[in-house]
């Protein structure tokens, strides 16, 4: 169904689909995808620069950290609506409004499960009670904010007639957007499209609200289901960068946007996304979270525009359209992997940082430039991925003060040598302390030596090493998690170097600093065990 033939009279243009990005909320609920305040703010800026219509910045009631992040994003971001999620209860809704109220364009997004499975086993509520609670939640939100979205969680497994009843009731209560989530990724595209079409046809007041999609990828159908919803009349797509999210993730923003752009005549709609920024924003998220993008992922994977087959190469040389339906430059894929070298100056470096979507002050640029020069002397080529690591090292670095600073280290290891490590560390009071330890290997010896100096004892929960870019001289990035025995909270450390032993030591010290900062604050970490939202 084209936009012109759709009976939906939405508040958005008939030939325009809103992009609702939930990377900072649903996406951050992915295991390992947590971000600190500085990282969230930087990524929100990138989303606004991308042209996202609505940024779901978080779930304010979930934790103090989530609340502060949503409030900071709402206070700064312009050009995009900033949205906070809330369950259908007064406390959640009031907290969400407290967080988003100073946004240039605020929105409250309330949700309540409607499927028989959720009603019986989770909510223990009747149909009548669900409708009553949903209406009350929307009315509470409307009393605070003129832009209110409602989601019937697990709509995909909700009885059609009951779903119509709920949607009609919340629109009467003032909802301006009604989101239809396939919460568990259960439906087939034809089924999801038919569900949207049924609402368009049979809900009398549907024209007073924008219909939104929110699809999960449990069966690998999130993008297909979302596009089926748009074809049936939906005019908002909820999605995440790189498709991250609960379980198998959400519909990938970059895939949805490029599918609509490539098939504009079929869908009869367009988005306001600046597609040339898709690749840089994807790289930024991967760098921040440590969740790497698979090489063959559509649109933003490293192989998305790579051609190795001789037949393909021959066709590409004769006419690019033989094997490419999109131009790499349309999604921001760089034309060459080589970005900067040791002879580059500050001006070139700053321009490339801006092009990649980052916002740094002069002091941060100078710090990145110093690290860049040191790296360029170690390796022949500096790639975008290398530069992203250097930039991320200085973003939000004030969130965790460097109480302990690694000055130097020396390790000895071999097949017939007892692994040892000697470290020199500056204490918080400025004193330099040296100590040594033995271990199962050089990395284990370093960790034990750091423990001896700092007195911080923790269990290593996760240790991951990956290559940042290509080549034998590539930087190795180490991401690790420590767990303190007296506390179930995890603390993450991350560092990169052309020497993975050094990167391991720096990452471990970063995690120790996070533990030290936590002890100084004497606060209870909110991230562990915080309430999640399963739309």
Regarding whether 258 and 158 lie in a shared domain, the answer is: yes
Determine which of 193-202, 235-244, 392-401, 414-423 has the lowest per-residue pLDDT on average: 392-401
Residue 14 has pLDDT above 80, yes or no: no
Regarding whether 235 and 174 lie in a shared domain, the answer is: yes
Regarding whether 273 and 185 lie in a shared domain, the answer is: yes
Task: Using pLDDT thresholds of 50, 70 and 90, give the confidence band for residue 339.
Answer: very low
Regarding whether 349 and 475 lie in a shared domain, the answer is: no
Task: Using pLDDT thresholds of 50, 70 and 90, give the confidence band for residue 306.
Answer: low
Q: How many Cβ atoms sit within 10 Å of the Cβ of residue 77?
A: 21
Q: Which pLDDT score, from 0 to 100, does residue 106 have?
A: 98
Regarding whether 341 and 280 lie in a shared domain, the answer is: no
* 245: CATH: 3.20.20.70
Residue 199 covered by a domain:
yes
Residue 4 has pLDDT above 60, yes or no: no
Residue 35 covered by a domain:
yes
Q: Which pLDDT score, from 0 to 100, does residue 13 have?
A: 59
Residue 531 covered by a domain:
no
Residue 217 covered by a domain:
yes
Rounded CA-CA distance 337/383 in Å is 6
Q: 322 in helix, strand or coil?
A: helix
Q: Which pLDDT score, from 0 to 100, does residue 3 have?
A: 36
- Average pLDDT of the segment spanning 186-211: 98
CA angle 133, 136, 142 (to 5 degrees): 140
CA distances from 260 to 53, 238, 266, 302, 409 (A): 16, 14, 8, 22, 53
* Spatial CB neighbours of 336, under 8 Å, sequence gap ≥ 6: none
* 380: CATH: 1.10.238
Residue 386 has pLDDT above 70, yes or no: yes
Do the bridges between strand 210-215 and strand 236-239 make them parallel or antiparallel, or are there none, so unpaired?
parallel
Domain boundary among 397, 425, 443: 397
Of 296 and 116, more confident: 116
Regarding whether 136 and 179 lie in a shared domain, the answer is: yes
Q: 113 in helix, strand or coil?
A: strand
Regarding whether 23 and 46 lie in a shared domain, the answer is: yes
What share of the chain in percent tops pLDDT 90?
Answer: 60
- Average pLDDT of the segment spanning 442-471: 90
Regarding whether 151 and 56 lie in a shared domain, the answer is: yes
Q: Which pLDDT score, from 0 to 100, does residue 473 have?
A: 80
Q: Are 337 and 291 in contact (CB under 8 A)?
A: no
* Spatial CB neighbours of 299, under 8 Å, sequence gap ≥ 6: 252, 254, 255, 258, 278, 279, 282, 326, 331
Q: Which pLDDT score, from 0 to 100, does residue 94 have?
A: 98
Task: Using pLDDT thresholds of 50, 70 and 90, give the confidence band for residue 199.
Answer: very high
Regarding whether 370 and 261 lie in a shared domain, the answer is: no
Residue 301 covered by a domain:
no
**Of 37, 129, 143, nearest in space to 94 by CA:** 143
Q: Which pLDDT score, from 0 to 100, does residue 8 have?
A: 35
Q: Which pLDDT score, from 0 to 100, does residue 474 have?
A: 84
Regarding whether 336 and 261 lie in a shared domain, the answer is: no
Residue 343 has pLDDT above 80, yes or no: no
Regarding whether 515 and 443 lie in a shared domain, the answer is: yes
Residue 16 has pLDDT above 80, yes or no: yes
Residue 296 covered by a domain:
no
Give the range of the structural domain holding residue 459, as residue numbers without chain letter. 400-521
What share of the chain in percent tops pLDDT 70?
Answer: 87
Rounded CA-CA distance 8/13 in Å is 10
Q: Which pLDDT score, from 0 to 100, does residue 274 have?
A: 97
Domain boundary among 336, 369, 397: 397
Greatest distance between any 2 Cα atoms in the chain: 80
Q: Are 477 and 496 in contact (CB under 8 A)?
A: yes
Burial 252-280 (b: 16+ CB within 10 A, else e): bbbbbbbbbbeeeeebbbebebebebbbb
Rounded CA-CA distance 374/80 in Å is 38
Task: Using pLDDT thresholds of 50, 70 and 90, give the confidence band for residue 400.
Answer: low
* 417: CATH: 3.30.160.270
Domain boundary among 289, 319, 337: 289
Orientation of helix 346-355 relative to helix 384-394, angle to 10°: 90
Sign of CA dihedral 327, 332, 336, 337: negative
Residue 534 covered by a domain:
no
Regarding whether 147 and 30 lie in a shared domain, the answer is: yes
Total structural domains in the chain? 3
Burial 116-155 (b: 16+ CB within 10 A, else e): eebbeeebebeeeebbebbbbbbbbbbebbebbbbbbbbb
Q: Which pLDDT score, from 0 to 100, does residue 311 have?
A: 53
Residue 258 has pLDDT above 60, yes or no: yes
Query: pLDDT digit string (tens) for 111-150?
Result: 999 999 999 999 999 999 999 999 999 999 999 999 999 9
Residue 499 covered by a domain:
yes
Place of tokens 């100078």: 366
């Amino acid at each position: 169904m084209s936009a012109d033939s759709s009976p939906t009279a939405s508040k958005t243009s008939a030939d325009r689909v809103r992009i609702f990005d939930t990377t900072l909320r649903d996406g951050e609920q992915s295991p390992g995808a947590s971000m600190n305040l500085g990282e969230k703010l930087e990524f929100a800026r990138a989303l606004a620069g991308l042209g996202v219509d609505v940024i779901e910045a978080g779930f304010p009631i979930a934790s103090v950290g989530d609340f502060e992040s949503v409030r900071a994003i709402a206070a700064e971001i312009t050009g995009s609506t900033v949205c906070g999620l809330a369950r259908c209860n007064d406390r959640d809704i009031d907290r969400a409004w407290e967080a988003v109220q100073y946004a240039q364009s605020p929105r409250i997004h309330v949700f309540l499960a409607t499927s028989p499975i959720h009603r019986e086993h989770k909510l223990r509520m009747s149909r009548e009670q669900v409708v009553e609670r949903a209406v009350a939640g929307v009315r509470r939100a409307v009393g605070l904010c003129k832009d209110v979205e409602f989601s019937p969680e697990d709509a995909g497994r909700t009885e059609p007639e009951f779903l119509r009843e709920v949607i009609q009731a919340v629109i009467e209560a003032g909802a301006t957007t009604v989101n239809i989530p396939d919460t568990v990724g259960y439906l087939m595209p034809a089924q999801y499209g038919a569900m949207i079409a049924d609402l368009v046809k049979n809900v009398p007041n549907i024209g007073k609200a924008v219909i939104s999609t929110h699809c999960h990828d449990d069966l690998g159908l999130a993008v297909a289901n979302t596009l089926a919803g748009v074809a049936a009349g939906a005019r908002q797509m909820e999605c995440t960068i790189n498709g991250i999210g609960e379980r198998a993730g959400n519909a990938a923003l970059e895939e949805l946007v490029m599918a609509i752009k490539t098939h504009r005549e079929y869908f009869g709609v367009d988005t306001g996304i600046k597609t040339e920024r898709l690749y840089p924003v994807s790289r930024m998220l991967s760098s921040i979270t440590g969740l790497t993008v698979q090489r063959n992922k559509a649109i933003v994977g490293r192989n998305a525009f790579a051609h190795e087959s001789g037949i393909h190469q021959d066709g590409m040389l004769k006419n690019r359209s033989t094997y490419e339906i999109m131009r790499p430059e349309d999604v921001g894929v760089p034309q060459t992997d080589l970005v900067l070298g040791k002879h580059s100056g500050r001006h070139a470096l700053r321009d490339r940082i801006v092009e990649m979507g980052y916002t740094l002050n002069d002091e941060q640029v100078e710090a990145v430039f110093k690290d860049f020069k040191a790296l360029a002397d170690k390796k022949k080529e500096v790639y975008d991925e290398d530069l992203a690591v250097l930039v991320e090292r200085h973003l939000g670095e004030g969130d965790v003060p460097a109480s302990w600073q690694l000055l130097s280290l020396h390790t000895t290891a071999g097949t017939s040598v007892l692994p040892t490590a000697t470290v020199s560390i500056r204490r918080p009071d400025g004193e330099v302390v040296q100590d040594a330890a033995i271990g199962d290997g050089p990395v284990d010896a370093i960790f034990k030596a750091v423990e001896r100096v700092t007195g911080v004892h923790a269990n290593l929960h996760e240790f991951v090493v990956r290559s940042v870019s290509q080549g034998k001289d590539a930087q190795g990035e180490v991401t690790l998690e420590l767990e303190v025995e007296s506390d179930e909270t995890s603390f993450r450390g991350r560092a990169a170097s052309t020497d993975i032993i050094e990167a391991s030591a720096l990452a471990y010290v970063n995690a120790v600093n996070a533990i030290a900062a936590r002890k100084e604050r004497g606060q209870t970490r909110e991230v562990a065990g915080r309430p999640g939202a399963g739309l």
